[in-house]
Amino acid sequence: MSPIISFSINESLKQFINKLVSRNQYENKSKLIRDALLRLMSDIEISSLETYGDLGTIAKRIVGNLIIVAPHDPTVQRKLNKIENRYKEQVVNKNQHFQGENLIIFMIFEGEIQEFQSIVVEINGIKELKNFRYLIIN
């Protein structure tokens, strides 16, 4: 189970979050906050790396893990395949297997941190997913 963090926000932020979730842009508040934090993390890492000049472009490349648990449903599998195809240069390894009614996919991603952010946001956009976890390894 993931750690739980509590924090206070003002009423306008609360309304903004509720609107995004109610418009089905996000499945729930947790996914919205995780995506926002991932974007912030990407921005901070990139800006801090850029201070190293030419080394910044090399250092922006990352390796990441993605673990997806999806229902055994051809429609969901097509959505995942389309996303994977868009990132075929960055997805360097993929294993998948079926366990009961679930499809479990493990991917290794190598590429720019912005690309990792994009694939995470796209995968998070698939509402039918049962679980999705990602980790930047370096």
CATH of the domain at 87: 3.30.70.1150
93-108 per-position pLDDT tens digit: 999 999 999 999 999 9
**Residue 18 counted as domain residue:** yes
110-138 per-position pLDDT tens digit: 999 889 989 999 998 898 999 999 998 87
**Residue 1 counted as domain residue:** no
Confidence of residue 56 (pLDDT cuts 50, 70, 90): very low
* Predicted structure pTM score: 0.62
**Sequence-ordered list of residues with C-beta below 8 angstroms from that of 116, at least 6 positions apart, any chain:** 42, 62, 64, 90, 109, 134, 136
**Residue 54 counted as domain residue:** yes
Number of domains in the chain: 1
Specify the higher pLDDT residue, 87 or 27: 87
Render the chain in DSSP notation, one character per residue.
----------HHHHHHHHHHHHTTSSSSHHHHHHHHHHHHHHHHHHHHHHTTTTHHHHHTEEEEEEEEEEES-HHHHHHHHHHHHHTTTTEEEEEEEEETTEEEEEEEEEEEHHHHHHHHHHHHT-TT-SEEEEEE--
**Residue 51 counted as domain residue:** yes
**Residue 3 counted as domain residue:** no
Domain containing residue 61: 11-136
Residue with tokens 């509590």, as numbered in its chain? 6
**Residue 24 counted as domain residue:** yes
